[in-house]
Structure 1
Amino acid sequence: MLNIAIIGTGAIAPAHVNAYLKFPDRCKIVALCDQYPEKAEKLKQEYQLTADTVDNHKELLNRQDIDLVSVCTPPYTHAEISIDFLNAGKHVLVEKPMASSLEECDAMNEAAHRNQKVLSIVAQNRFTTPMMKLKKVLDTKLMGPIVHTQVDSYWWRGHSYYDLWWRGTWEKEGGGCTLNHAVHHIDLFQWMNGMPAEITAITSNTSHDNAEVEDLSIAIAKYGNGSLAQITSSVVHHGEEQQLIFQGKKARVSAPWKLKASKAKENGFPEEDQELEVEIQKVYDQLPSLPYEGHAGQIQDVLSAIENNMKVLIDGKQGKQTLELITAIYQSASLKETIKLPLKTDSPFYTREGILKNTTYFYEKTTSVENFANNEITSGGN
């Protein structure tokens, strides 16, 4: 039985609580922490937990009965809290984005390696049946080499969204929609298609003059073989349609699932390749559905890794790669230049201080709400 502590009891914490409660024979929530104790107490009562509540994570560092910690706090606190618990001998599952900078990612990974503890970064969209099946279909290479990828991370958030005290600032949120919304799809993109060789990007703030950060970005990624990808990150798209489309030389596959395959007529014009479509569809249909999806799927993966001394699907290295792509988008847009990957430690955006100094500030944040009365969140269109 693994004992769990949850640090931060805001909007995303219930997803963790619900996921852990699906495995009552394997884990138990024993502690909740929030700088606003009433929020921790409210979550405890809502789920009828027998957990202790505290207002500072340091109070839990020496607790011998805590094995795994979920970090659900604002992004600028992720590194400090995670490293504290790793150094205290606890396993850590930290919400996206992993940290505010690549320097912090490296420090977190070093602490996990030195203490021989699991560090996993939340990317719950990998743990959905459509995404897992799409990944396995891509791994068959039946589509041929991928020549173009389209990543549409479309969300919509109203003006008041950025009134919350920590949102909309580079110092505390670490970025806008590219970091905090499209992180899901950028993670899926690099997991499925690998890291590109370079990034060219532009960012804008079209609708939220109460935020320093962007609400829209468009990036072009280029691979060494000439393959291109376009990545759109947004919180200004009504309907929140989200998709990943992979165009291979022989066929196209996507999530939501759609399959088309073409072959050339004698004059080079297309005709449907029904045989290949049947073959790819058969692979997709024969893949099993996941028993647990979303946060529950990832938490099952983390529990199994701890219990059986295995690797997690999403470790700190994977988490850093996703942040590296996002950082390259910010660096390209701010400096107005194409950025080569991988980013090195001499990148002006490697440290948090470098980001704060060099990034584009769109507006001054003038409103700061401590808490919203309605804490309900939505998770997008698809």
Structure 2
Amino acid sequence: MKKVGLAVVGVNNFAKFYLDKIKELEEEGEIKLTAVVIEDQIKNADQLRNLRSQGITVYNSYQKLLKESKQFVDIVCLPVSIPTHSNMAISGMKAGYNILLEKPPTPTVQELDAIIKTEKETGRFCSIGFQFIHSYTIRKIKQFILDGKLGNIKEIATKGFWPRFKSYYDRNDWAGKSLYMGQLVLDGPMQNAFAHYLNNMIYITGPDMNSSASLKKIRSELYRAHSYIEADDTSCMQLETANGTNIYFYVTHSPEKLRHPYMEIVGEKGEIKWTMENEKTVIKLNNEKVIKFDNNNIDPYKEEFRIVAKKQLGKIDNLYCTPENTRNFVVAINGAYDSAKKIKAIPKDLINEFINDDNEYQTILTGIDKLFDQAFAERKLLSELDIDWAVRTEWINIEEYSCFNPFN
């Protein structure tokens, strides 16, 4: 059987995660790591020697990979910096390769539309690395809803509390930035670390297994507690879909305690509760029937590689996660910035920055856990609670959204 040749651009940070997952999957027989790009081959000499000892071709530039590897690379994997996503995906497809592009797809909707246009012009595909759209539970939940078993969806809400230390923001030059070297990044929690969970909600309310929901309007509040970054780190939003479902999102990188994402889906016939840990899912219907399931030992991170391989081999017609069905995620992010207009700095007397027991420089926004719990329970934004530092923002219509330009 022909194996699908994968190339990975990079060997550090999330690129290392890609390399590890591909290595684990090679035993299944459908994929093989055939090429890697290492730009700084002196700094990464050990990885260079190790890869070459395995017979893997190593290039010192993306351009050289695109020019020379057509005989043994089918899909180029791009776990690269957010501001480079659109240019690298487009140049890869124009050079004749299919693409696996790490989330978030692009900072702006116009960049994503350029990727969609290139797919159509070249006949290549671009899969987006939103791993949880490949997960057993998210897809099972969506099918359950599409079968009408939950009735019309009234609302979906997700909250997540992930501390991010200074080492996280120091890991590269663009982390924690809204703008880097003249290019938009928008590296806040909704756009990056928690992006999966916003995209999950938009996908779940879509009209079929290949589509996400159309969006009508949005309001969002963006706040910053970390003293040394420029992007937001504590954010909330409310979305209304074209079919009337309300989507609520509450995420922070400055919590008092770590808590993984938790989602509630409320329908006419019952409700669903989902937690990220083991993807534990509980469905409670109005007739008192209870259904429980977890991830069935299916790793969604591996599924994203399996699915692109099956698409390459012609075993499936449709990718799970595409530029088309993640477009409204990007629209939501862009609309969030339009609604908030600016990132509000939290008053310094509410912020505690210190070296924790793990020798990490940590930032805590005092009281944010309780405030987000209340906002989540009441389906409100922070400005609707009794908080003197919160700023009420405007609803923005995003039905025909086609361009984000914060510089106007």
TM-score (normalizing by structure 2): 0.75
**Aligned partner letter, 1:174:** L
Q: Secondary structure at the match of 2:187?
A: coil
Match of 2:396 among 330, 339, 343: 339
Question: What stretches of structure 2 of length at least 5 have no aligned partner?
Answer: 206-212, 276-280, 343-392
Matches within 5 A, 1:63-74: 63=68, 64-65=70-71, 66-74=73-81
> Does the 8 Å CA contact 2:89/2:101 hold for their aligned counterparts?
yes
In the TM superposition, residue 288 of structure 1 has moved relative to its aligned partner by: 9.1
**Aligned partner letter, 2:394:** E
Partner of 2:134: 127
> Does the 8 Å CA contact 2:161/2:254 hold for their aligned counterparts?
yes
Partner of 1:6: 8
Partner of 1:260: 284
More strand by share: 2
Match of 1:85 among 79, 92, 95: 92
Task: Return closer, same or farther for 1:94/1:181 CA change in 2, 3 Å cut-off.
Answer: same
> Does the 8 Å CA contact 1:153/1:181 hold for their aligned counterparts?
no
In the TM superposition, residue 18 of structure 1 has moved relative to its aligned partner by: 2.8
Task: Return closer, same or farther for 1:331/1:39 CA change in 2, 3 Å cut-off.
Answer: farther
Match of 2:231 among 200, 206, 213: 213
Report the Cα distance in structure 2 between the residues aligned to 1:224 and 1:2, rounded to whole angstroms: 39
Partner of 1:200: 219
Q: Secondary structure at the match of 2:33?
A: strand
Matches within 5 A, 1:1-382: 1-21=3-23, 22-24=25-27, 25-38=29-42, 41-44=45-48, 49-63=54-68, 64-65=70-71, 66-164=73-171, 165-172=173-180, 173-193=185-205, 194-206=213-225, 208-237=226-255, 238-256=257-275, 257-262=281-286, 273-274=287-288, 277-278=289-290, 281=291, 289=296, 292-308=298-314, 310-334=317-341, 336-345=393-402, 347=403, 349=404, 354-355=405-406, 357=407
> Does the 8 Å CA contact 1:86/1:111 hold for their aligned counterparts?
yes
In the TM superposition, residue 255 of structure 1 has moved relative to its aligned partner by: 1.0
TM-score (normalizing by structure 1): 0.80
> Does the 8 Å CA contact 2:221/2:237 hold for their aligned counterparts?
yes
Report the Cα distance in structure 1 between the residues aligned to 2:313 and 2:325, rounded to whole angstroms: 21
In the TM superposition, residue 51 of structure 1 has moved relative to its aligned partner by: 1.7
Deviation beyond 3 Å, 4+ runs, structure 1? 38-49, 223-227, 287-290
Report the Cα distance in structure 1 between the residues aligned to 2:45 and 2:31, rounded to whole angstroms: 20
Report the Cα distance in structure 1 between the residues aligned to 2:317 and 2:244, rounded to whole angstroms: 36
Partner of 2:385: none
> Does the 8 Å CA contact 1:245/1:255 hold for their aligned counterparts?
yes
Count of aligned pairs: 332
**Aligned partner letter, 1:201:** S
Task: Return closer, same or farther for 1:7/1:147 CA change in 2, 3 Å cut-off.
Answer: same
> Does the 8 Å CA contact 1:217/1:232 hold for their aligned counterparts?
yes
**Aligned partner letter, 1:302:** V
**Whose RCO is larger (CA < 8 A, sep 6+)?**
1
Report the Cα distance in structure 2 between the residues aligned to 1:306 and 1:183, rounded to whole angstroms: 26
> Does the 8 Å CA contact 2:41/2:48 hold for their aligned counterparts?
no
Question: What stretches of structure 1 of length at least 5 have no aligned partner?
Answer: 263-272, 359-382
Report the Cα distance in structure 2 between the residues aligned to 1:40 and 1:174, rounded to whole angstroms: 29
Task: Return closer, same or farther for 1:184/1:33 CA change in 2, 3 Å cut-off.
Answer: same
